[in-house]
């Protein structure tokens, strides 16, 4: 946690059995680990607590009132079935050969139940759960499972004494919520008052010590003020890392790239055969000012597929070339790198500009790569376009002035930093990162908080909206009609994508390539593309599709980023429920790029009305990438949004909701900037105390 650590070992504070059980259940070894295991809900005065959003097979803990209880025989066993309500939903708890249950669970009693969720005829069930009867005034605690372990901490009845809110913790089969509660209470009882890490509590919020204790065991005020303070600290953590990164960047010098009135930049702008959108013009103005300032530019350019980011980036690169510097453009795949090189070369040739564009990718023949490296180090290459190959130590630039990173989410801070380190000694190249995946504003403030953000919302003229339809597998007539529609477009001279969620197996690329190529599309030229193909074969297939030789391309998501075939007008995404919201939007953007009417077909096996079905229909019903980015965030865990599950992101963001907590994030981001300006040493100390795994995650996010 920000500015505070409790490195005491659980083995030194808790009974040995409990410390070992917490390590086995959650991997917790220190007191801080346990105190950051926050409740998921709170039961006030034993009130009912729902198990919302739980799926079959999940371990759940809930509070419910006993409605009835009865015994019956099944397979020579006595089954005691307890009917319960959690306030809105009736559910059952079944116990086998446990007639003693009726002594504890009587109608009207409230109890906590912890067990694995099952469904029988749509009724939620818990089979042989652990339970703990919530004691009324003057009553003794009773229950199953963890009673003996609770007694290790003292008198079990003391656990609930005086509690207005009972915390309900995420639990496991071997570690019930009330067992966790007893351990947390013991650790807090042995914890000395914690000094305020920020010097003084943020205005209107409780102090850190009060919040840490109150989030587990709230008083009459409830858990919300304590949650808000801890959420603020999480947001401030991210804000400080980004503010310090901005400060570090501003302390460096960058080559001033002053625009030239009669240079290549002016020549390109004069030669463009179309008017730039207002958004493009504004972003170019902002970038021009940044590049001319002498401070290193760090700017994120986000815009829908086809919004004109490539032209904006070329204008910026030509400003660097005019000032006598080289540019590097980093792309996530060889297919995209080669395509970018061709696009830039074509734009420059059409404008009559003599600017050298050199591709550099891993699969290039050795002699070609050797010549490219020579051109780069000698300064003959003005613009270098490549994959990770240009980050390698063997690549040396003559005078690198600007780095452009396409599809920012495919690269980490670490990789950007390595490329920026290739500038002349003492100078840091400017940085422009681009993404076609719209970024919710809370994510832009946190994960990309070290970058100034520019947004292109308008699409260039001539682009038509893409029609989208959902085709469920349970309507075979619709599926056949979708295949027919693809055939009609191809017969009319257009091209089509069929996107698959896998390479092998039923519904995979190789499977559908055979089925479509030998069946409904046997009269068309069908090709396939996937990530396991050698780079030269992938490039050849994309060239054949771009030229129109291949009419239907069956592919994985390798076509998600940057593939530009204006003649492609129809796309079928098979099993679309397996893709994320933003990914579906990105894939859809591969069609409709040539001014023709276009269609995206979302095929799905999802059941009607299911969450997946609703999500797919939401994507089909809107083409607003920013609205879909918010929807994507709603359907994903914060840790998944900020990074991968292995990254430690879940440890950085435990309570903060990146969709709903904008006011907290906005305040913390502003406060972090002010704190770095006023007390940079305090800010650095606070950040240094972030867990090592979290620091690694933040550096790679």
For residue range 582-592, list pLDDT tens digits in order: 888 888 988 88
pLDDT digits (tens, 9 = 90+) for 211-269: 999 999 999 999 999 999 999 999 998 889 888 888 888 888 889 999 988 899 999 99
Report the pLDDT value the prediction gives residue 659, as an integer from 0 to 100. Answer: 75
Looking up tokens 């972090």, which residue turns up? 672
Report the pLDDT value the prediction gives residue 264, as an integer from 0 to 100. Answer: 96
Residue 557 CB coordination number (10 Å):
16
> Is 548 in a helix, a strand, or coil?
coil
Look up the CATH superfamily of 466-622.
Answer: P-loop containing nucleotide triphosphate hydrolases (3.40.50.300)
Report the pLDDT value the prediction gives residue 536, as an integer from 0 to 100. Answer: 81
Ranges in the chain annotated CATH 3.40.50.300: 264-456, 466-622
Report the pLDDT value the prediction gives residue 148, as an integer from 0 to 100. Answer: 74
Report the pLDDT value the prediction gives residue 465, as an integer from 0 to 100. Answer: 78
10-residue mean pLDDT series, the chain (701 residues): 90 95 95 95 78 75 89 87 86 86 88 86 84 79 74 76 87 88 95 93 96 96 96 92 85 89 94 90 96 91 84 96 95 84 93 95 90 95 91 88 80 69 85 83 78 83 80 94 95 96 93 94 94 85 91 88 80 94 86 86 92 91 80 58 35 78 92 91 79 49 42
CATH, range 18-191: 2.40.50.140
The strands making up 526-529's β-sheet, listed across from edge to edge, are 466-472, 598-604, 568-573, 495-499, 552-555, 526-529
Yes or no: say if 197 and 3 are a contact pair by the CB < 8 Å rule. yes
Ranges in the chain annotated CATH 2.40.50.140: 18-191
> Is 237 in a helix, a strand, or coil?
helix
> Is 298 in a helix, a strand, or coil?
strand
Q: Which fold has domain 264-456?
A: Rossmann fold (3.40.50)
Alpha-carbon torsion, ordered 384, 385, 390, 396, to 10 deg? 0
Residue 404 CB coordination number (10 Å):
28
The rounded distance, in Å, linking the Cα atoms of 369 and 360 is 7
Report the pLDDT value the prediction gives residue 195, as an integer from 0 to 100. Answer: 94
Of the candidates 407, 303, 277, 283, the one whose C-alpha atom is nearest the C-alpha of residue 624 is 303
- Helices 334-350 and 264-271 meet at what angle, rounded to 10? 80
Alpha-carbon torsion, ordered 493, 494, 495, 498, to 10 deg? -120
Residue 408 CB coordination number (10 Å):
23
Strands (E), 256-372: 298-303, 326-330, 357-360
> Measured in Å, how far apart are the chain's first and last C-alpha atoms?
19
H/E stretch holding 697: helix 692-700
> Is 553 in a helix, a strand, or coil?
strand
Task: State both tokens at 195.
Answer: 């000094």
Write the CA distances from 505 to 490, 513, 572, integer angstroms. Answer: 26, 12, 18
Report the pLDDT value the prediction gives residue 51, as an integer from 0 to 100. Answer: 64
């Amino acid at each position: 946690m920000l500015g505070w650590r409790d490195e005491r070992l659980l083995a030194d504070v808790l009974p040995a059995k409990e410390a070992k059980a917490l390590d086995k259940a959650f991997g917790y070894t220190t007191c801080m680990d346990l105190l950051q295991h926050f409740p998921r809900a709170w039961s006030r005065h034993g009130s009912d607590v729902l198990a919302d959003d739980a799926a079959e097979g999940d371990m759940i803990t809930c509070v419910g009132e006993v409605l009835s209880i009865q015994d019956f025989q099944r397979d020579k066993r006595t089954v005691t079935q307890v009917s319960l309500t959690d306030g809105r939903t009736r559910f059952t708890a079944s116990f086998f050969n446990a007639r003693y249950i009726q002594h504890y669970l009587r109608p009207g009693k409230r109890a906590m139940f912890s067990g694995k969720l099952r469904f029988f005829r749509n009724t939620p069930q818990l089979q042989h759960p652990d339970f703990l009867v919530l004691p009324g005034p003057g009553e003794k605690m009773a229950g199953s499972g963890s009673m003996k372990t609770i007694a290790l901490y003292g008198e079990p009845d003391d656990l609930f004494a005086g509690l207005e809110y009972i915390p309900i913790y995420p639990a496991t089969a071997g570690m019930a919520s009330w067992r966790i509660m007893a351990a947390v209470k013991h650790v807090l009882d042995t914890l000395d008052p914690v000094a305020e890490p920020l010097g003084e509590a943020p205005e209107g919020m409780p102090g850190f010590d009060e919040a840490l204790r109150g989030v587990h065991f709230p008083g009459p005020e409830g858990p919300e003020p304590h949650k808000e303070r801890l959420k603020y600290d999480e947001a401030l953590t991210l804000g400080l890392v980004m503010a310090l990164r901005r400060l570090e960047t501003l302390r460096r010098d960058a080559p001033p790239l002053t625009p030239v009135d009669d240079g290549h930049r002016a020549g390109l702008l004069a030669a463009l055969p179309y008017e730039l959108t207002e958004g493009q013009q504004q972003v170019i103005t902002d970038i021009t000012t940044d590049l001319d300032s002498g401070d290193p530019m760090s700017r994120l350019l986000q815009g829908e597929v086809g919004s004109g980011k490539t032209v904006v980036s070329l204008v910026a690169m030509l400003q660097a070339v005019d000032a006598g510097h080289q540019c590097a453009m980093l792309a996530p795949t060889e297919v995209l790198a080669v395509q970018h090189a061709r696009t830039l070369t074509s734009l420059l040739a059409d404008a009559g500009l003599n600017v050298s564009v050199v591709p550099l990718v891993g699969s290039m023949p050795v002699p070609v790569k050797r010549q490219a490296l020579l051109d780069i180090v000698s300064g003959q290459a003005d613009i270098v376009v490549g994959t990770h190959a240009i980050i390698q130590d063997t690549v040396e630039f003559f005078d690198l002035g600007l780095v452009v990173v396409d599809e920012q989410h495919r690269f980490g801070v670490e990789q950007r930093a390595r490329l920026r380190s290739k500038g002349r000694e003492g100078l840091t190249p400017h940085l422009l990162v681009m993404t076609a995946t719209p970024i919710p504003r809370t994510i832009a403030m946190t994960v990309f908080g070290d970058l100034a953000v520019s947004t292109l919302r308008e699409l260039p003229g001539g682009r038509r909206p893409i029609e989208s339809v959902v085709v469920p597998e349970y309507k075979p007539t619709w599926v056949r009609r979708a295949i027919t529609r693809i055939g009609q477009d191809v017969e009319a001279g257009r091209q089509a994508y069929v996107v698959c969620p896998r390479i092998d197996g039923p519904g995979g690329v190789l499977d559908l390539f055979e089925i479509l190529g030998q069946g409904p599309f046997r009269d068309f030229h069908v090709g396939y593309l996937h990530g396991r193909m050698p780079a030269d074969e992938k490039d050849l297939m994309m060239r054949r599709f771009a030229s129109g030789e291949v009419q239907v391309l069956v592919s994985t998501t390798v076509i998600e980023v940057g593939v530009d075939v204006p003649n492609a007008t129809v796309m079928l995404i098979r099993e679309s429920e397996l893709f994320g919201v933003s990914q579906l939007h990105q894939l859809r953007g591969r069609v409709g790029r040539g001014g023709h009417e276009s269609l995206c077909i979302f095929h799905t096996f999802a059941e009607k009305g299911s969450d997946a079905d609703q999500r797919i229909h939401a994507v089909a019903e809107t083409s607003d990438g920013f609205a879909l980015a918010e929807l994507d965030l709603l359907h994903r865990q914060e840790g998944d949004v900020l990074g991968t599950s292995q990254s430690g992101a879940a440890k950085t963001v435990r309570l903060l909701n990146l969709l709903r907590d904008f006011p907290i994030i906005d305040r913390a981001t502003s406060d972090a900037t002010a704190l770095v300006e006023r007390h940079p040493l305090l800010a650095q100390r606070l950040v240094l105390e972030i867990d090592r795994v979290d620091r690694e995650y933040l550096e790679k996010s």
